[in-house]
Amino acid sequence: MVAMAREARLQCRVLRTIFLFAAVVGTVLSCGTADAQSRLDKAALESYIRYLLLWGPEIRVEISDPKPSSLQGFDEVTVGGYLGSAGQKEVFFVSTDGKRMIRGSLLDLTKNPFDATRAKLRIAGQPAFGPEDAPVVVAVFSDFECQFCKQEASVVRATLAQKYPSQVRVVFKDFPLAVRHPWSTLAAISGRCIFRQKPEAFWQFHDWVFEHQSEITVENLKTKVMEALQDKGLNQAELDTCIATKATEGEINSSIKEAIDLGVTGTPVFFVNGRMMPGAAWQNLRTAIEAELSKAKAKTP
């Protein structure tokens, strides 16, 4: 019994060492009604998560079924919290006895830590500028009504584009926060309608919306968009129909789902070759880009 106790203590120390970025946050998850394989009581876990993340009763919580992880003795569980179109997802590792939980990421030291995230980002067929074969891809989830997004947009369109004209490709992703921003979803739909018809005109729309953000309302958005882009070579009747019927709403919903699956909870959020950087200041964004360029250079024979 003494040897077993020592072994158990040693295993705990090893786990704490390996998961430098994880938090062991629970001992309250076991229950006699759990299934035979995992002892995971979803009701108890939901209660614990609501307390941990301050999720009130208005938040809808979804907990995935546990699946085997590469960490012995722990299953992987995905927990999502949703309010309207907004949402948040986190991955937890729950011990098979239902008594412990690790909050964090399990990293493989033999692989790039951002490859898995980068693979989940949908880049093709999205509004973008910069060379398609650029070594660095910066994807930004943004909201046209977000003031912080307006500030970051000027950095992306001016500073970043000038500093890295041939080394970085910027991809725009929609993540309208309709709960707080009443016209953000319609703006996103309008942008996608423009992109469908004339991709290069999207960036003119992008710059115009952020520049005139304070003047736009739910009531005048469509009229102002039509006026602002009337000389940009667009079919006005086709654009009007697309916006009025919300023909691109499905694309916006897909982008929102993608953002939630990636762990995006606000805007703006950048992904630099898969590295997630919420609200990154220019210096931080530049540091990440330089790191990726150095890594790419080191791989070149």
Provide DSSP, 218-239. TTTHHHHHHHHTTTTT--HHHH
Q: How far apart are CA 150 and CA 179, in angstroms?
A: 18
| 141 shares its domain with 94 | no
Given this model, what pLDDT does residue 45 score?
92
pLDDT at 218 > cutoff 90: yes
Where is the domain boundary, 73, 103, 133? 103
Where is the domain boundary, 103, 136, 167? 103
Residue 233 lies in a domain: yes
Given this model, what pLDDT does residue 213 score?
96
| 231 shares its domain with 272 | yes
Burial class (CB in 10 A: 0-12, 13-18, 19+), 191: buried
Structural domains of the chain, count? 2
Element (H, E) at 101: strand 101-103
| 140 shares its domain with 188 | yes
* Tens digits of residue pLDDT in 59-92: 999 999 999 998 889 999 999 998 877 788 888 9
* Tens digits of residue pLDDT in 88-111: 888 899 998 888 999 877 788 899
Where is the domain boundary, 43, 70, 103? 103
Q: How far apart are CA 141 and CA 126, in angstroms?
A: 12
The answer to whether residues 138 and 54 touch, using CB atoms and an 8 Å cutoff, is no
Residue 108 lies in a domain: no
Average pLDDT, the chain: 86
State the average pLDDT over residues 5-13. Answer: 44
Q: Which residues contact 266 (CB under 8 A, 6 or more apart)?
A: 177, 278, 279
What is this structure's pTM?
Answer: 0.77
Residue 280 is part of which domain span?
A: 115-299
CATH number for the domain harbouring residue 166: 3.40.30.10
| Residues pairing with 168 in the sheet | 136
Residue 109 lies in a domain: no
| 251 shares its domain with 273 | yes
| 74 shares its domain with 119 | no
Given this model, what pLDDT does residue 301 score?
54
